[in-house]
Amino acid sequence: MSSPGSRLLEELTLPQVKEKIRPSSVLVMPIGSVEQHGPHLPLTTDHLVASEAAKAVASRCGEDLDLWLLPTLAVSKANEHAWAPGTLWLRAETLLSVVSDIASSAATTGARRLVFLNSHGGNTPLLVVACREVRLSLGFQTFLLHPFLPLDHGGRSTAAPAGELGMGIHGGHDETSIMLHLRPDLVDMSLAVRRVPDRLAGNRHVRFGGSVPFGWTSDDFGPDGHIGDPVGATAREGKELFEGAVEMLCEQLAEIATFDFGMDPDDSR
């Protein structure tokens, strides 16, 4: 029996699913990763951020917006870190198949809105494709959200130090601060060092966050596996970043909850 305030789909009984899940319900599928994050952060970083953000959002606005959380997908497309022992990863085609299969299963609930809440940048391009494919195959209205939009996919950070040169994309200042807030017991700041690809800073286009995407693996930029400067990270900044992300996600989900296709007759004039 689910607890009164639970928004976890898996805690419902079959009769409760039939009673509580409606076409207007919004299903939220958190997606993380288990991968190396340098010497100072745990493999679970992306998985933990996805799970904790989803739970915080459900607590804050889940009842008002009729949100229901699917189980977090912990293993995803992370083979840019495949060189590092402990990293678990799916091939691109496998992730698309897994997401499609879960969406097919979730469609039986009768809900018509499905949100991918993704905290691993390596998944982002594939999940854009998945949104379109699931829309075509199942008729779901599909959406992609990030607790923190990756810097190399257009995201921006107001907390990151200037020394990261806008390229703190993995295990840098922001991610380390967030982990110091969520799970400080898993962070070893004595091993935190700056690893920023300064040689790319002069490029306007071929750089992280530039207009030309390029293939890379995390050990292309040094043996530590992270890209950024975690040295000055703090739990206080992590708390601010996390709480700001939850507020933004609830704003985005409020629009998703009422989103529909179709043009107003006035729009065609």
pLDDT tens for the 269 residues of the chain, in order: 445 467 999 999 999 999 999 999 999 999 999 999 999 999 999 999 999 999 999 999 999 999 999 999 999 999 999 999 999 999 999 999 999 999 999 999 999 999 999 999 999 999 999 999 999 999 999 999 999 977 666 667 767 788 899 889 999 999 999 999 999 999 999 999 999 999 999 999 999 889 999 999 999 998 999 999 999 999 999 999 999 999 999 999 999 999 998 756 555 55
Asked if residues 78 and 33 have their Cβ atoms less than 8 Å apart, the reply is: yes
Asked if residues 197 and 169 have their Cβ atoms less than 8 Å apart, the reply is: no
Instruction: Quote the pTM value.
Output: 0.93
CA distances (Å), origin 41, targets 10, 78, 157 = 29, 16, 20
Q: Give me Rg for the CA atoms of the chain.
A: 19
Phi, psi dihedrals of residue 109, rounded to the nearest 5°: -75, -20
SS3 20: helix
CA triplet 8, 12, 13: central angle to 5 degrees? 165
Phi, psi dihedrals of residue 144, rounded to the nearest 5°: -120, 120
Beta strands in the chain (DSSP E): 26-31, 67-69, 113-118, 141-145
Residue 64 to residue 84: CA distance in whole angstroms: 42
Structure tokens at 42: 């745990």
Phi, psi dihedrals of residue 29, rounded to the nearest 5°: -110, 100
